[in-house]
Amino acid sequence: MSVTSLGMPTVGVPRKGFFTDTSLCIGCKACEVACKEWNSVPADSNLELTGESFDNTSALGADTWRHVAFIEKQVPATDPGAHDGVKWLMSSDVCKHCTHAACLDVCPTGALFRTEPGTVVVQQDICNGCGYCVSACPYGVIDQRKDDGRAFKCTMCYDRLEVGEEPACAKACPTKSIQYGELDELRERADARLAELHERGEAGAQLYGRDPENGVGGDGAFFLLLDEPETYGLPPDPIVTTRDLPAMWKRAAGAAAGLLAGAALVFWGGRK
């Protein structure tokens, strides 16, 4: 598979991505299992009884590239989908494969690169474990393994994409909650699904990460949510964390030039 070194997706190449419709998620965790099996992701070293409903993986991490959240929410009995005043919200979270990916901006070794279909991948054999990408990610997706510090996250199964197969998680999803394809087509499909849910009375349904004008230029993995993003542990207004770097470097260069000019004046003035 050809790749672009950094930055934006390749112009002229149909960008691929995920559309996750949480209204269809049944919490089976088939996507988690398929992801681990295909990518040889080890068992989560932090796996324990968290007390968080039926969710024991708790969050995305170096050993959890797909995470299915179980959220119990107290709602009025008249709320669509409510049972005895409780509504279950389930969602399979994953790396967003941002259009403007801050992790790419800060990686000093080139371990992070963008593939031709627009996904963002970490090459573990090049990663030096600096952790810059971890702090740069606006979604808190990237994580480091404790044994050697290298960064890991979803690759959107780029090895499967290379041979024309869909990612393992989408292949395993029994309800088609996780859908893979060309982003433009997925966005059209998501718009139609949102309109359908609104007609059915799901007033809180909304698309998250679909808008190319959002703070990261649109997500390569976006979602249809049934509640506010914060309910799912997602930032309401994500921004690319490196957006101010060009201005900062420009100011730093200006300050450095000023210091050099001052030093030169002092030097030449002293010689006179």
Q: Name 11's Cβ contacts closer than 8 Å, sequence gap at least 6.
A: none
Instruction: For residue 141, say whether it is annotated as part of any ligand binding site.
Output: no
pLDDT at 252: 46
Tokens 């702090």 locate to: 135
pLDDT at 46: 57
Q: Name 179's Cβ contacts closer than 8 Å, sequence gap at least 6.
A: 18, 19, 20, 21, 170, 186, 189
Q: How does residue 141 score in pLDDT terms, banded at 50, 70 and 90?
A: very high
Count of residues making up the chain: 272
Question: What sign does the dihedral 9-10-11-13 (CA atoms) show?
Answer: negative
pLDDT at 226: 95
pLDDT at 26: 95
pLDDT at 250: 47
Q: Find the mean pLDDT for residues 105-131.
A: 95
pLDDT at 49: 64
Instruction: For residue 107, say whether it is annotated as part of any ligand binding site.
Output: yes
pLDDT at 161: 94
Instruction: For residue 17, say whether it is annotated as part of any ligand binding site.
Output: no
Instruction: For residue 127, say whether it is annotated as part of any ligand binding site.
Output: yes
Helix or strand or coil: residue 252? helix
Q: Is the pLDDT confidence value at 216 over 70?
A: yes
Question: pTM for the whole thing?
Answer: 0.82
Note the helical H segments in 177-244: 183-199
Sequence spans of domains, the chain: 3-240, 242-272
Q: How does residue 271 score in pLDDT terms, banded at 50, 70 and 90?
A: low
Q: Which fold has domain 3-240?
A: Alpha-Beta Plaits (3.30.70)
Instruction: For residue 103, say whether it is annotated as part of any ligand binding site.
Output: yes
Locate 46 and state its tokens. 């932090």
Distance from C-alpha of 2 to C-alpha of 262, rounded to nearest angstrom: 48
Torsion of CA 102, 179, 11, 104, to 10 degrees: 20
Reported as a single tens digit per residue, the pLDDT across 7-60 is 556 556 789 999 999 999 999 999 999 999 999 999 876 556 666 667 777 889
Instruction: For residue 10, say whether it is annotated as part of any ligand binding site.
Output: no
pLDDT at 72: 87
Q: Is the pLDDT confidence value at 251 over 60?
A: no
Instruction: For residue 9, say whether it is annotated as part of any ligand binding site.
Output: no
Relative to beta strand 16-21, strand 221-225 is parallel
pLDDT at 1: 38
Instruction: For residue 131, say whether it is annotated as part of any ligand binding site.
Output: no
Q: How does residue 6 score in pLDDT terms, banded at 50, 70 and 90?
A: very low
Q: Pick the residue with more confidence: 129 or 241? A: 129
Q: Find the mean pLDDT for residues 122-128.
A: 95
Q: How does residue 255 score in pLDDT terms, banded at 50, 70 and 90?
A: low
Instruction: For residue 71, say whether it is annotated as part of any ligand binding site.
Output: no
